[in-house]
Structure 1
Amino acid sequence: MALPKQGIATATIRGSDGQDFTLAVPAVLHGERLHISADHHSTLRFAMHSAGVENAELEFSEMEVA
Protein backbone atom coordinates (compact mmCIF):
# COMPACT_ATOMS: atom_id res chain seq x y z
CA MET A 1 0.00 0.00 0.00
CA ALA A 2 1.35 3.41 -1.00
CA LEU A 3 1.87 6.07 1.61
CA PRO A 4 -0.02 9.37 1.23
CA LYS A 5 1.91 12.11 -0.56
CA GLN A 6 1.50 15.78 0.36
CA GLY A 7 1.55 18.31 -2.41
CA ILE A 8 -0.32 20.83 -4.49
CA ALA A 9 -3.27 20.31 -6.83
CA THR A 10 -3.23 22.78 -9.72
CA ALA A 11 -6.09 23.59 -12.08
CA THR A 12 -5.75 25.83 -15.12
CA ILE A 13 -9.14 27.23 -16.10
CA ARG A 14 -10.07 29.22 -19.19
CA GLY A 15 -12.73 31.82 -18.48
CA SER A 16 -15.53 32.76 -20.86
CA ASP A 17 -13.46 35.83 -21.81
CA GLY A 18 -10.66 33.53 -23.07
CA GLN A 19 -8.34 34.41 -20.20
CA ASP A 20 -6.54 31.50 -18.50
CA PHE A 21 -5.94 31.47 -14.78
CA THR A 22 -4.35 28.91 -12.50
CA LEU A 23 -5.45 27.89 -9.03
CA ALA A 24 -3.26 25.89 -6.67
CA VAL A 25 -4.46 24.34 -3.42
CA PRO A 26 -2.86 21.99 -0.87
CA ALA A 27 -3.78 18.35 -1.46
CA VAL A 28 -2.92 14.79 -0.45
CA LEU A 29 -2.60 11.94 -2.94
CA HIS A 30 -3.35 8.54 -1.44
CA GLY A 31 -3.13 5.78 -4.01
CA GLU A 32 -5.14 7.11 -6.94
CA ARG A 33 -7.40 9.34 -4.83
CA LEU A 34 -6.80 13.06 -4.48
CA HIS A 35 -7.97 14.59 -1.21
CA ILE A 36 -8.62 18.33 -0.91
CA SER A 37 -10.06 20.04 2.16
CA ALA A 38 -13.67 21.19 1.95
CA ASP A 39 -12.60 24.85 2.10
CA HIS A 40 -10.13 24.49 -0.78
CA HIS A 41 -12.59 22.40 -2.79
CA SER A 42 -15.17 25.16 -2.31
CA THR A 43 -12.65 27.73 -3.58
CA LEU A 44 -12.00 25.66 -6.71
CA ARG A 45 -15.73 25.18 -7.37
CA PHE A 46 -16.41 28.93 -6.92
CA ALA A 47 -13.64 29.85 -9.37
CA MET A 48 -14.87 27.30 -11.89
CA HIS A 49 -18.46 28.52 -11.58
CA SER A 50 -17.34 32.14 -11.97
CA ALA A 51 -15.46 31.18 -15.15
CA GLY A 52 -18.43 29.24 -16.50
CA VAL A 53 -16.52 25.95 -16.34
CA GLU A 54 -18.16 22.74 -15.10
CA ASN A 55 -15.15 20.41 -15.22
CA ALA A 56 -11.45 20.97 -14.73
CA GLU A 57 -8.48 18.66 -14.79
CA LEU A 58 -6.28 18.78 -11.71
CA GLU A 59 -2.57 18.10 -11.77
CA PHE A 60 -0.86 16.90 -8.59
CA SER A 61 2.70 17.94 -7.72
CA GLU A 62 4.37 16.33 -4.71
CA MET A 63 6.07 18.57 -2.16
CA GLU A 64 9.16 17.37 -0.39
CA VAL A 65 8.78 17.56 3.37
CA ALA A 66 12.01 18.36 5.19
Structure 2
Amino acid sequence: MGSDLMPGSSQAASEAFNLAAFARAYTLEPVTADPPTVTQRLSLAARVDQLFEMFTELLREL
Protein backbone atom coordinates (compact mmCIF):
# COMPACT_ATOMS: atom_id res chain seq x y z
CA MET A 1 0.00 0.00 0.00
CA GLY A 2 1.68 3.23 -1.18
CA SER A 3 1.38 6.66 0.35
CA ASP A 4 -0.66 9.30 -1.44
CA LEU A 5 1.93 11.89 -0.48
CA MET A 6 4.84 10.13 -2.15
CA PRO A 7 4.03 8.38 -5.43
CA GLY A 8 6.04 5.21 -5.81
CA SER A 9 6.96 5.19 -2.13
CA SER A 10 6.51 1.43 -1.88
CA GLN A 11 9.32 1.03 -4.41
CA ALA A 12 11.43 3.68 -2.68
CA ALA A 13 10.94 2.00 0.69
CA SER A 14 12.22 -1.31 -0.67
CA GLU A 15 15.47 0.27 -1.91
CA ALA A 16 18.26 1.61 0.28
CA PHE A 17 18.38 5.39 0.49
CA ASN A 18 21.24 6.71 -1.63
CA LEU A 19 22.36 10.03 -0.14
CA ALA A 20 24.82 10.76 -2.95
CA ALA A 21 22.15 10.32 -5.64
CA PHE A 22 19.74 12.46 -3.62
CA ALA A 23 22.35 15.21 -3.24
CA ARG A 24 23.11 15.18 -6.99
CA ALA A 25 19.41 15.52 -7.78
CA TYR A 26 19.09 18.60 -5.57
CA THR A 27 22.43 20.30 -6.23
CA LEU A 28 21.83 23.93 -7.16
CA GLU A 29 23.23 25.22 -10.41
CA PRO A 30 25.71 28.08 -10.04
CA VAL A 31 24.20 31.53 -10.34
CA THR A 32 25.07 33.02 -13.71
CA ALA A 33 23.24 36.35 -13.49
CA ASP A 34 25.38 39.38 -12.79
CA PRO A 35 24.55 41.22 -9.57
CA PRO A 36 22.84 44.60 -10.00
CA THR A 37 25.08 47.62 -10.40
CA VAL A 38 25.37 50.26 -7.70
CA THR A 39 23.12 52.56 -9.75
CA GLN A 40 20.47 49.87 -10.10
CA ARG A 41 20.58 49.14 -6.37
CA LEU A 42 20.26 52.81 -5.51
CA SER A 43 17.41 53.17 -7.97
CA LEU A 44 15.60 50.23 -6.37
CA ALA A 45 16.20 51.67 -2.90
CA ALA A 46 14.76 55.01 -4.02
CA ARG A 47 11.66 53.29 -5.40
CA VAL A 48 11.19 51.35 -2.17
CA ASP A 49 11.51 54.58 -0.20
CA GLN A 50 8.94 56.23 -2.46
CA LEU A 51 6.50 53.34 -1.98
CA PHE A 52 7.01 53.48 1.78
CA GLU A 53 6.24 57.20 1.79
CA MET A 54 3.13 56.67 -0.36
CA PHE A 55 1.78 53.96 1.96
CA THR A 56 2.57 56.08 5.02
CA GLU A 57 0.58 58.98 3.55
CA LEU A 58 -2.27 56.64 2.64
CA LEU A 59 -2.43 55.31 6.20
CA ARG A 60 -2.54 58.85 7.58
CA GLU A 61 -5.49 59.65 5.31
CA LEU A 62 -7.44 56.63 6.55
Q: TM-score range by the shorter chain?
A: 0.3 to 0.5
Structure of greater relative contact order (alpha carbons < 8 Å, 6+ residues apart): 1
- How high is the TM-score relative to the length of structure 1? 0.31
Q: Which has the higher strand share?
A: 1
- How high is the TM-score relative to the length of structure 2? 0.32
Q: Which has the higher helix share?
A: 2
Instruction: Name which one, 1 or 2, has greater alpha-carbon Rg.
Output: 2
